[in-house]
Chains A and B, each alone.
Chain A
Amino acid sequence: MSASEDMPDLLGDCVHCGFCLPTCPTYVLWGEEMDSPRGRIHLMDQHERGAPLGPEMVRHFDQCLGCMACVSSCPSGVQYDRLIETTRARVEEHHDRPLGEKALRALVFGLFPYRRRLRALRGPLRLYQRTGLDRAVRRTGLLERVSPSLAAMERLAPPLGPAPRLPERVAARGGRRATVGMLTGCVQGEFFPGVNTATARVLALEGCDVVIPRGQGCCGALSLHSGRAGEAAAFARRTIDAFRDVDVIVVNAAGCGSSMKEYGELLKDDPVWAARAAALSDRTRDLAEFLVELGPRAERHPVPATVAYHDACHLAHAQGVRSQPRALLAQIPELTVREIKDPDVCCGSAGTYNLFQPEAASELGDRKAASVRETRAELLVAANPGCSLQIATALRRQGTEMAVAHTAQVLDASLRGLGRGPLFADGS
């Protein structure tokens, strides 16, 4: 049965108890029923019973971050992830967006999932020159929307220059324990190449042969989580094909991991791909999840630092991976891990959210940044590039410069005995 036919049943699971409200970022911000999971489910139900997908209704679906905190907090097992995906697809299909919104979406979806185009854009000025969108873009003020995000990425990314190219295969150190495929991701790969090299090294040091297929592209996460199922399916097929020869695919970006774990569901009605998609989903692991399953072998050297660990929504809520990254960090001598207040509430990054809903996103970023500051940690550790960007930007707005790192980079520093140096830009 397709998700669309399931809709009445899925909606019926909600008993209207409200337990999902306090961790919903938009409810936290505005305190409005229609911007809570319970309210959005109610709106979906109204639509299911014949109310049109008007602009009022669509606005509240658009304002949903897709953070899935509501899935974690719902005692009745409501599958909000499926509900919102189906709803978003319906919105894309039936709702006529205003021109400006359309143009912005075209720009974003024509840009972010494509690594080569992203590369062409490093340096916001080139945006004008290369995309051919310049006039349309200027007219609608889109650049002002997109460029802060690009600018933020630029600021956080290492100085311009070619991102180091990973070899197609990295050999295990010591005895080989596993052979794993590695997804390099688009935003991650382009703007945070250091995360991918760290991931490959950590895996190799833990005894894994790492296969990094050249043919891989975007996993489709952005499209999938924005109701562009057709586009997502195409990305999914390509990814499945790229990783056909490995037993496990290790993913270090939370958003990508969660979408790959959904391939089975996404392609279940595709007679040719359904089985392969389900198999790929089963073989997908987040890096931390995989390392804990594998068990530590390489020696952990001290990293004397105090870090705050941030739960990326697509890791904690969508994949249920909370304890593993903490366990990995806890194994590192002299590293202190601090918890951030309200860990369940999204930082506002949420894929494309900071592009489409900039105000709400920055308010959420400010809240998260304030909680991060309260920890008095010196380094922010997160497993999603979007979160790191978002929080670091918000921290800077508040006048705090804080180093950010991916779990993989902290492990890399520890396994290689490099101490804290590589994690802090100024080398302190």
Chain B
Amino acid sequence: MIPGRRPRSDAGAPVTADPPADGVKGDGMNAPLDRLAERFAALLPPGGVITDPVRLATYECDGLTTHRASPGVVVLPESAEHVAAIVRACVEENVPYVARGSGTGLSGGALPRTDGVLIVTARMRRILEIDLPNQRAVVEPGVINLDVTRAVRANGYYFAPDPSSQQICSVGGNVAENSGGAHCLKYGFTAHHVLSCEVVTPDGDVVELGSGPGYDLLGVFVGAEGTLGITTKITVKLTRVPETVQTLLAAFPSIETGGTAVSKIIGMGVVPAAIEMMDALAIEAAEAAVNCGYPADAGAVLVVELDGPEAEVAHQFAAVERLCREAGAFEVRVAADDAERALIWKGRKSAFAAVGRISPAYLVQDGVIPRTALPEVLASIDALSAASGVRVANVFHAGDGNLHPLVLFDDAVEGAADRAEDVSGKILDLCVEHGGSITGEHGVGVDKARYMPRMFTDTDLDTMQMVRCGFDPAGLCNPGKIFPTPRLCGEVPGVRKGPHPLVAQGKAELF
């Protein structure tokens, strides 16, 4: 790390468990990394290997700045062969490695290892194939999510997963995090739009994971946060642009009334393309950032979008509008055209980053609750906020109960980060208490590994680790993520060293 460097927004927050990198690089102290750097330089085109501390430090964190560690070496491969060769070299030297796409992750999933290699896919950004008749495209992992859509939109197709970060996050990162977006309610997460992945396994083999007989390995891989291998080629599904889209913005006096509207809409059997809610504080931030012109004095706004065949949408839209008003909406605006729709969405999509306008620092939380528990959980968050004096702005995918509380604090005030961290953790407790989950779409990464035991028993966690060990027995592929207490695979209780008895007897097959 840079002398005198103090992480900006984490005064006192838990920093990574990795040892400091001082003295590791460039001075012969870390022979395996030096040897690797040399091998990589021979393998990659000029500029493909980064070893000087100043440049390395720019990769020290992803979108979550509270965890930082300067990588030992950064490599910028340009092909699957490069990635495979890099992984094999790391295995030979027994050096850990971490994949990174665009570095927008919000759980520290791409947090580097000071004693390891960071494999950045930003130069693997070719769209290899577009096959419209079969509604699929084959892309390299560094391709930006929105670029897939941009390549096919003129033909009436798009790539459905739409995280708010879609203008910059990579498809590889989407696969790793199983990312979703506002439209997941109807269209599902990344997992539902990936047909197959070419993967460099932790052994350095290149394999294709797709649908087929046997275990659903693709299903295991998507969402594994880069711990089971690195995907080098992704076949994604392209979705037809719906015949029509209708968007409305409804302003409510309070979060509770907004929540009621959500329940009624879903209860009616309508599956909107999206139902998003923002509370007053989040509205204030968005307004400051992008002048989205949301109604003043709203306690909450709801963005509802319906899409599909013209007649169906028209019918349902009228019902949605009525339900909003019945639930207490004091203003309902319907987007007349794409420009107005874009303006409505602009406020919502900029909300996270926009909070920077109203608070020096903040934490983005991500939790899930059953939709019916919405009013209760929100009231509890309010109480938590009032009791602790920590402001919380709420933005959420209301349709599927995915909350994104934004916990605001001033990093210049001593202890503020700790208090924010505390409130943020308690919000997750609320989610688990109500039968929800500690993450909806941002992943566990390093940040939430410590919360895993709140949701899973030791047996659950051990079972998951066994799967991980099946892929990565040496534990070199993005180690230290997801699990609170990483174990060496050999030590995991109940793991057999030899083949499973059933396999040995020929009664079962090992895939």
Contacts A15-B65, A22-B144 given; indicate if A31 touches B4 (C-beta within 8 A): no
- B101: shortest Cβ distance to chain A, in Å? 10
Question: Of A48-56, A218-226, A404-412, A420-428, which binds chain B?
Answer: A48-56
A31 in contact with B142 (CB, 8 Å): yes
The answer to whether the Cβ of A30 comes within 8 Å of any Cβ in the partner chain is yes
- A393: shortest Cβ distance to chain B, in Å? 25
Q: Which residue of chain A is the closest to B123 with respect to CB atoms? A: A31
Residues of chain B lying within 8 A (CB to CB) of residue A21? 102, 168
Beta-carbon contacts under 8 Å, A47-101 to B? 49-51, 54, 56-57, 60, 73-77
Q: Which residue of chain B is the closest to A60 with respect to CB atoms? A: B55
Contacts A12-B8, A32-B76, A75-B354 given; indicate if A18 touches B63 (C-beta within 8 A): yes
Contact with B along A1-31 (1 / 0, CB 8 A): 0000000000111111111011000010011
- A31: shortest Cβ distance to chain B, in Å? 3
B58 in contact with A34 (CB, 8 Å): yes
B104 in contact with A18 (CB, 8 Å): yes
The answer to whether the Cβ of A39 comes within 8 Å of any Cβ in the partner chain is yes
Residues of chain A lying within 8 A (CB to CB) of residue B125? 31
A46 in contact with B356 (CB, 8 Å): no
A76 in contact with B354 (CB, 8 Å): yes
The answer to whether the Cβ of B167 comes within 8 Å of any Cβ in the partner chain is yes
Beta-carbon contacts under 8 Å, B65-80 to A? 65, 76
Residues of chain A lying within 8 A (CB to CB) of residue B61? 16
In this complex, the member of A11, A33, A39, A56 whose beta carbon has the largest number of chain B beta carbons within 10 angstroms is: A33
The answer to whether the Cβ of B17 comes within 8 Å of any Cβ in the partner chain is no
B54 in contact with A57 (CB, 8 Å): yes
Contacts A46-B2, A50-B3 given; indicate if A77 touches B55 (C-beta within 8 A): no
A50 in contact with B168 (CB, 8 Å): no
Q: Which residue of chain B is the closest to A78 with respect to CB atoms? A: B356
B122 in contact with A31 (CB, 8 Å): yes
- B352: shortest Cβ distance to chain A, in Å? 7
B353 in contact with A17 (CB, 8 Å): yes
Give the CA-CA distance A75 to B2 in the complex, in Å: 28
The answer to whether the Cβ of B454 comes within 8 Å of any Cβ in the partner chain is no
The answer to whether the Cβ of A42 comes within 8 Å of any Cβ in the partner chain is yes
B168 in contact with A18 (CB, 8 Å): yes
In this complex, the member of B58, B60, B102 whose beta carbon has the largest number of chain A beta carbons within 10 angstroms is: B58
A76 in contact with B289 (CB, 8 Å): yes
The answer to whether the Cβ of B290 comes within 8 Å of any Cβ in the partner chain is yes
A49 in contact with B2 (CB, 8 Å): yes
- A47: shortest Cβ distance to chain B, in Å? 9
Residues of chain B lying within 8 A (CB to CB) of residue A378? none
Q: Which residue of chain B is the closest to A54 with respect to CB atoms? A: B54
B4 in contact with A50 (CB, 8 Å): yes
B54 in contact with A33 (CB, 8 Å): no
Give the number of residues in A that approach B within 8 Å (Cβ atoms).
35
- B179: shortest Cβ distance to chain A, in Å? 14
The answer to whether the Cβ of A282 comes within 8 Å of any Cβ in the partner chain is no
The answer to whether the Cβ of A265 comes within 8 Å of any Cβ in the partner chain is no
The answer to whether the Cβ of B269 comes within 8 Å of any Cβ in the partner chain is no
Q: Which residue of chain A is the closest to B146 with respect to CB atoms? A: A22
Contacts A17-B353, A21-B168, A77-B357 given; indicate if A30 touches B289 (C-beta within 8 A): no
Contact of B58 among A11, A12, A42, A75 (CB under 8 A): A42
Give the CA-CA distance A74 to B353 in the complex, in Å: 8
- B443: shortest Cβ distance to chain A, in Å? 16
B57 in contact with A46 (CB, 8 Å): yes
Give the CA-CA distance A39 to B354 in the complex, in Å: 20
Q: Which residue of chain B is the closest to A52 with respect to CB atoms? A: B54
Give the CA-CA distance A22 to B166 in the complex, in Å: 11
Contact of A76 among B47, B63, B102, B356 (CB under 8 A): B356
Contacts A19-B165, A30-B47 given; indicate if A51 touches B103 (C-beta within 8 A): no
Contacts A31-B76, A33-B59, A54-B54 given; indicate if A76 touches B4 (C-beta within 8 A): no
Contacts A16-B65, A31-B76, A34-B55 given; indicate if A75 touches B290 (C-beta within 8 A): yes
Q: Which residue of chain A is the closest to B121 with respect to CB atoms? A: A31
A33 in contact with B353 (CB, 8 Å): no
The answer to whether the Cβ of B315 comes within 8 Å of any Cβ in the partner chain is no
Residues of chain B lying within 8 A (CB to CB) of residue A16? 61-63, 65
The answer to whether the Cβ of A45 comes within 8 Å of any Cβ in the partner chain is yes
Residues of chain A lying within 8 A (CB to CB) of residue B102? 18, 21
Q: Which residue of chain A is the closest to B3 with respect to CB atoms? A: A50
Give the CA-CA distance A19 to B353 in the complex, in Å: 9
The answer to whether the Cβ of A251 comes within 8 Å of any Cβ in the partner chain is no
A32 in contact with B350 (CB, 8 Å): no
Give the CA-CA distance A69 to B122 in the complex, in Å: 19
The answer to whether the Cβ of B497 comes within 8 Å of any Cβ in the partner chain is no
In this complex, the member of A12, A14, A19, A56 whose beta carbon has the largest number of chain B beta carbons within 10 angstroms is: A19
A45 in contact with B165 (CB, 8 Å): no
The answer to whether the Cβ of B5 comes within 8 Å of any Cβ in the partner chain is yes
B2 in contact with A56 (CB, 8 Å): no
B352 in contact with A17 (CB, 8 Å): yes
The answer to whether the Cβ of A316 comes within 8 Å of any Cβ in the partner chain is no
Residues of chain A lying within 8 A (CB to CB) of residue B361? 12
Residues of chain B lying within 8 A (CB to CB) of residue A73? 167
A75 in contact with B350 (CB, 8 Å): yes
A12 in contact with B360 (CB, 8 Å): yes
Give the CA-CA distance A92 to B61 in the complex, in Å: 30
Give the CA-CA distance A56 to B56 in the complex, in Å: 11
Which A-B residue pairs are the 9 nearest by beta carbons? A31-B122, A76-B356, A75-B353, A50-B4, A39-B58, A75-B350, A33-B58, A31-B123, A34-B58
Residues on A facing B (Cβ under 8 Å): 11-19, 21-22, 27, 30-34, 38-39, 42-43, 45-46, 49-51, 54, 56-57, 60, 73-77
Q: List 7 A-B contacts (CB under 8 A).
A: A16-B63, A18-B169, A31-B76, A33-B58, A33-B103, A43-B58, A56-B52
Residues on B facing A (Cβ under 8 Å): 2-6, 8, 47, 50, 52, 54-55, 57-63, 65, 76, 102-104, 120, 122-123, 125, 142, 144, 146, 165, 167-169, 288-290, 350, 352-354, 356-357, 360-362, 411
Given pairs A76-B353, A76-B354, 14 additional interface contacts (CB within 8 A): A15-B63, A17-B165, A19-B167, A19-B168, A21-B168, A32-B50, A32-B122, A42-B57, A43-B54, A56-B52, A60-B55, A74-B353, A75-B354, A76-B289
